Chains A and B, each alone.
Chain A
């Protein structure tokens, strides 16, 4: 059982390009999350999904979009990347939403936008 996988591991991207970060979990968790982590700041929630077919905006959603077509996959898309989106991106999942379930994290994607 892999848990949560993310791809790519790292990426250097030119500003203005479109990029999709992939996230897949095999734990059949209902809820999934995308965070960004920047030096000196706490993890910040970008978007979340409480269950397949639904998504919601987190603290810093601008410039990002997500979809949740099925339980396992939760891709994050940057429509037109900007340098301020340089960050480490973590996908996470929890068994249920709206409760105090533990969140489990993927290994992260290190994205650099030039």
Chain B
């Protein structure tokens, strides 16, 4: 199977910027998704990248490098409500999502 790697946990300060990295295997790639999941809740869609480059959406941006099998989610002006897990998922050649284990982001005042 394909492996999705992302850090288990990160800590950042309110108002700061944090970058969450994700690496994936490049064979059969059909896009890279980021989801947010608050504790005890369902995952919710944040972003989708299929072409190289940066996609900006408000305080959140997502970057993709297909040749390197690398993506990151950038969160600016962090707020306490951003404390959540961030899930990276690759869409494979069968258009099924392969999910990373998620990065738990802890925001401190």
**Digit string of B20-43 for contact with A (CB within 8 Å is 1, else 0)?**
000000000011010000000111
CB-CB contacts below 8 Å: A30-70 with B: 40-45, 48, 58-59
Does B42 lie within 8 Å of A106, measured CB to CB? yes
Count how many chain B residues have C-beta atoms less than 8 Å from C-beta atoms of the other chain: 23
Query: Contacts A44-B99, A100-B50, A100-B91: A59 and B1 contacting too (C-beta < 8 A)?
Result: yes
Query: Contacts A100-B50, A105-B42, A106-B42: A42 and B95 contacting too (C-beta < 8 A)?
Result: no
Task: List the count of A-B residue pairs having beta carbons below 8 Å apart.
Answer: 46
Query: Contacts A100-B48, A100-B91: A107 and B41 contacting too (C-beta < 8 A)?
Result: yes
CB-CB contacts below 8 Å: B69-109 with A: 87, 89, 91, 95-102
What is the interface of chain A mostly: helix, strand, loop, or mixed? loop
Query: Contacts A42-B99, A58-B96: A103 and B87 contacting too (C-beta < 8 A)?
Result: no
